[in-house]
Structure 1
Amino acid sequence: MAQLILNHFSIRSLEIEKTVAFYSQVLDLKKGPRPDFPFPGVWLYSGADNDYNNAVLHLIAIDKNDPEGLKKYLGERDFTSLQGSGAIDHIAFLAAGLGAMLKKLKTLAVPYRERTVPVLKLHQIFLDDPNGIVIELNYPAAEKTALDAQG
């Protein structure tokens, strides 16, 4: 089997504006071009928006007044099933700049949980997006050690 590389993840959201704001403010993802699908949505990019491969998050907005385009294209989902991660437990990213992220989360008043996994040499931050989806940010444990040494 060929090596698999994650291209993007998609979230169907009843809170599209809050979701865009969360990922833009917390993870610095930027709005960019999106194909003209028969339903509303937003693509958020990590990197240049002139390459669709950088659209790491595809947000799918739900228009309760006109859901037919979405139903025909991606299938119907019960609105009540759109809270939390469902069968997916979390989405994880490798990251750098732990100190800056901790400061940003505090400034934005975003609750988070932390833990270090010594065997993996990772310091992890867990936070919940506006849809209840758990996001895991993995930083080199050395960054946490350096921050702790600074006091």
Structure 2
Amino acid sequence: MTLPLATVHGLFHIAIKTDNLAATRKFWVDVIGLREFPRPDFGYPGAWLGCTQPGGLAIIHVYAGGPALGPSGKAEAGTAAIDHVSLSCSGYRSYVSRFKESGLDFREFIVPGTSLWQLFVYDPSGVQLELTFESGGEGAEKPDLSEGRKYVAGANFFDKAKYPKLA
């Protein structure tokens, strides 16, 4: 029997540890727009969240409780060596409105030499999320690149103490 060649077919999922499952679920479902998928009973709380498009997959797996807790007894915050998770999106101004309505701090960016616009925001666990948009269908109003609003690579703007209460 000939075995298949080693081939990557795409991203299966990202797993996020959280100490606030309700707020994390609300962020990813109500603010970002993912939907909840059935999740097996692993014996600890969590959620599987994914794209709403037909055939969409559960791309964000969230888990809380036992296995999410580190040596300190708390879920670690941030993305550590992974800088951010990026999703391909549409509806730039709708996301800006959602972020403002939810009290979320965010940053905006235009990828140099391309037609791509980006929004950066953090989930309740401090995972940085990049939403990327093809600007052609996003209207004439460009991203706000003013001081304090423009995304700066490597600059962390997550503050758990000031993060809005989403749940």
Tell me the TM-score range normalised by the shorter chain: 0.7 to 0.9
Which 5+ residue runs of structure 1 have no aligned equivalent?
none
Does the CA-based 8 Å contact 1:116-1:141 persist in structure 2?
Answer: no
- How many angstroms apart in 1 are the aligned matches of 2:110 and 2:122? 18
User: How many residue pairs align between the two structures?
Assistant: 136
The amino acid across from 1:124 in the alignment is: Q
Higher helix share: 1
Would the aligned equivalents of 2:18 and 2:75 in 1 still touch at CA under 8 Å? no
2:164 match: none
Q: How does 1:82-121 map to 2 (within 5 A)?
A: 82-121=76-115
Secondary structure at the aligned position of 2:26 is classed as helix
Question: Shift of the alpha carbon at 1:87?
Answer: 1.1
Match of 1:60 in 2: 63
Q: Residues 117 and 134 of structure 2 are in contact (CA less than 8 Å); yes or no, is this contact kept in structure 1?
A: yes
Structure 2 unaligned runs (5+)?
1-5, 143-167
- Deviation digits for residues 32-76 of structure 1 (CA, Å, limit 9, x no counterpart): 210121222111132279x7x6111111111xxxx3xx49xxxx7
Identity %: 29
Question: In the TM superposition, what is the alpha-carbon distance from 1:77 to its structure 2 partner?
Answer: 3.5
Tell me the TM-score normalised to structure 1 length: 0.78
The separation in 1 between residues aligned to 2:53 and 2:131, in whole angstroms, is 21
Q: Which runs of 4+ in 1 moved over 6 A?
A: none
Instruction: Measure how far apart 1:80 and its partner are.
Output: 5.5
Q: TM-score with structure 2 length normalisation?
A: 0.71
Q: Would you say 1:14 and 2:19 are equivalent positions?
A: yes
Distance 2:51 2:15 in 1: 14
Q: State how far apart, in whole Å, the 2-side matches of 1:36 and 1:80 are.
A: 22
Which residue number corresponds to residue 47 of structure 1? 52
Q: Verify: 1:128 aligned to 2:155, yes or no.
A: no
How far the C-alpha of 1:144 sits from its partner, in A, is 5.5
Does the residue aligned with 1:84 lie in a helix, a strand or coil?
coil
* Contact 1:85–1:133 (Cα < 8 Å) also in 2: yes
Q: Distance in 1 between matches of 2:138 and 2:109?
A: 10
- Match of 1:137? 131
Alpha-carbon displacement from aligned partner over 1:20-39 (angstroms, at most 9, x marks no partner):
11111211112221012122
Residue 44 of structure 1 aligns to which amino acid in structure 2?
L
- CA-based RMSD of the aligned residues comes to 2.4
